[in-house]
Amino acid sequence: VIEESGGAIVPGISGLKVKAAVSRRENPGSLRMEALLSGDPDMRVLLRCRKGLEDFVREEAREILSPAEWIIERTQPGCVTLKPLGDFSLATLYRLRCFATVAFPLGMVAVGSGSNASWVEPLARCIASNRAREIMSAATEGEPRYRLEFAGRGHQRGAVRQVVDRAYALSPSILNDSRQSLWSVDVIPKTSSSATIGRGESMVELRPRLYPDPRLRYRQDDIAAASHPPLAACMVRLAGVKPGEIVWDPFCGSGLELVECSLRGSVVMAHGTDLDAKAIGVAQANFAAALRDNPRMGEARAEMVECDFRDAATKAGISPGSISLMITNPPLGRRVRIKDMQGLFADLYAAAAQALKVGGRLVFVNPLRTGPSDPSLKLEFQKTVDLGGFNCRLEMYRKVLPGKQVTLARGGKSDRKAATNPKEQQSAGSDKSSSPKMPAPAWWSRVGNKGRDWDRERRSRS
């Protein structure tokens, strides 16, 4: 093989690898978001998300995509399957904000092990199929390049070499490039059981690799342990943003929840508090960029203040009964143990009871199985969500007048029953020792709460 840069013969370097390197140097390429993809009768589109968020993805698709152009065919944990009724573009799909990735199914293979595995040929044929070739060629500016990913099976370098070499022999126009490819071919076990991973069928999917995500053009910077953007979008959809919203995120981080709320076009003021000065700067920059590029945000204003959320009354100007929506992804206590998670969330509930106006909502991710002691906060929604290997609860509470009843929203009934079981009044990630339910603290005056740097502990999770 002749290396273009120096004309030298390089033993052990395949023609495929050299061709991919040359293609990458000459034309890195880009994805053509507006290019039309063939919506033939066998085409399916998978909108993948965290397990527990699929109902939000489905409802958003139903709201935004035209029923004359799309059929929502199936909803499964972590995935919504769409059937296009005609040609479509990636840009159409990326109008949706609640899904994590788009994928196109290429087939099923019985993935095994060993250097002469029988699955190498069928997997190579999936990669070299007309479906994969047509999608990549239509939606790629430059030569299509892909990387091969085995979910849950490690690097699989030997198997990858066999598969990509065979796929190249079948279709030389599609190049394997593990470094800067615009596409990924993902091999995903059909179930998470060890038996399936070792011997059962796996799904083969083609996925565009969009970095940065075009839905997040406003992101000027990021911070460690920032929110998962599709989760933030799902939280906003759950909240149901209304005209004239005054929003507060007590742990604002990089400001994703506040931006996602404001993109709905109904927010007049977005308050963010965080103990991290860098996070406040990033949140301000992200909000300003979103405001500049999205006319729907109108004249929304933002105030980001470096302070403890328990000091919001004096330092951030958040007076009792002034907030219509509290939305936040608080510290979850997974990577770094938080000494008193119960106390932190008791403070958060107390803050909500004080700051929310009647009818206001608290939407957040809850790693605990405890609720507020204040009777004015009533649970309306609860759904278990997989946050990357551990379960939390996406919850919404509404502030009501004393004695008023609320109806639990669809999707969380069984979870609510579980949450009221006294035996489960502990953190999902804690040890088995029980913790007594703490009374709500005197949050507004910070009695007993000085010195607890919850935000710093949250940031150190990463």
- Encoded tokens for 356: 């929310």
d(CA 300, CA 266): 8
Q: Which residues pair with 447 in a beta bridge?
A: none
339: pLDDT confidence band, cut at 50, 70 and 90? Answer: confident
Predicted local confidence at residue 154, as pLDDT: 62
Q: Is the pLDDT of residue 422 over 60?
A: no
CA–CA gap between residue 216 and residue 154 (Å, rounded): 30
Q: Confidence band (pLDDT; 50, 70, 90) for 116?
A: low
Question: For tokens 């095994």, what's the residue?
Answer: 112
Cβ atoms of 257 and 231 closer than 8 Å: no
Q: Taking 80 as the threshold, does the pLDDT of residue 110 lie above it? A: yes
Which of 35-44, 150-159, 218-227 has the largest mean confidence?
35-44
Angle at 102 between CA 384 and CA 195, to 5 degrees: 60
CB atoms within 10 A of CB 146: 25
Q: What percent of the chain has pLDDT over 70?
A: 76
State both tokens at 318.
């958040």
| CA separation for the pair 423, 432 (Å, rounded) | 10
Alpha-carbon distance 423 to 426, whole Å?
8
- Using pLDDT thresholds of 50, 70 and 90, give the confidence band for residue 459: very low
Instruction: Say which residue, 408 or 195, is predicted with more confidence.
Output: 408
Distance CA 439, CA 371 (A): 11
Do residues 407 and 425 make contact, with C-beta atoms less than 8 angstroms apart?
A: no
Say which DSSP state 335 is in: S
Query: What is the reported pLDDT for 360?
Result: 98
Q: What was the pLDDT predicted at 206?
A: 99
Contact predicate 383/410, CB 8 Å: no
The predicted model gives 400-419 an average pLDDT of: 58
First to last CA, the chain: 44
Contact assessment for residue 238 and residue 53, using Cβ atoms and an 8 Å cutoff: no
pLDDT of 226 > 60? The answer is yes
In 3D space, the residue among 264, 265, 283, 288 whose CA is nearest the CA of residue 273 turns out to be 283
Write the burial class of residue 18 (CB in 10 Å: 0-12 exposed, 13-18 middle, 19+ buried).
middle
Confidence of residue 114 (pLDDT cuts 50, 70, 90): low
pLDDT tens digits for range 152-183: 766 667 788 999 999 999 999 999 998 889 99
Domain boundaries, the chain: 15-211, 216-459
Q: Is the pLDDT at 103 greater than 80, yes or no?
A: yes
The CATH architecture to which 15-211 belongs is 2-Layer Sandwich (3.30)
**CB-based contacts of 27: which residues, under 8 Å, 6+ apart?**
142, 143
Band (pLDDT 50/70/90 cuts) for residue 460 is: very low
Q: Residue 197's pLDDT is what?
A: 42
**Does the model's pTM come out above 0.85?**
no
Which DSSP string do the residues of 264-329 spell out, in sequence order? TT-EEEEEEEES-HHHHHHHHHHHHHHHHH-GGGTT-EEEEEES-GGGHHHHS---TT-EEEEEE-
- CATH, domain range 216-459: 3.40.50.150
Q: What are the tokens at 260? A: 């996602």
